[in-house]
Amino acid sequence: MEFKPFSRAIIIAIAFISTASLSIFLSTFASPVQAENHTSLGEDDNEFVFAGTCHNGESYRLFSYAKVVDGLALWQHDYEGPAGKGSVRTRATPRTMAVRVCRKLAEIIDDH
């Protein structure tokens, strides 16, 4: 009996199918990490709390939330830090507000 070697195409096809099958199996396998209930940030979240340390070492706290006024949802930020303590209604992002709150002489005013 004569030995006939497999063609290169058959070997590559078998390797590809094996790899694809393994990756599908591993991607559908339920791990304990995926089974935990993680809360995710969605489009309907309307309250955020930010706290940290400013570049000068002082701490700040920023509470951002959507407040409905006359049927419109407007963003309001309650802040406390080197710039003082107060509330402001503005379209500024929480990141921008954190920078402002960390400046002692910052002027933090409403947009409206």
Q: In this predicted model, what pLDDT tens digit does every residue of 34-91 receive, in sequence order?
A: 555 555 555 667 788 999 999 999 999 999 988 887 888 788 999 999 999 999 998 8
Quick check: pTM over 0.85? no
Separation of alpha carbons 59 and 53, rounded Å: 4
Higher pLDDT, 23 or 101: 101
3-state class percentages of the chain: helix first, strand second, coil last, to nearest 5: 30, 30, 40
Tokens at residue 85, please? 């303590």
Separation of alpha carbons 77 and 86, rounded Å: 8
Question: Hey, where are the domains in the chain?
Answer: 47-101
Measured in degrees and rounded to the nearest 5, phi and psi for residue 82 equal: -60, -30
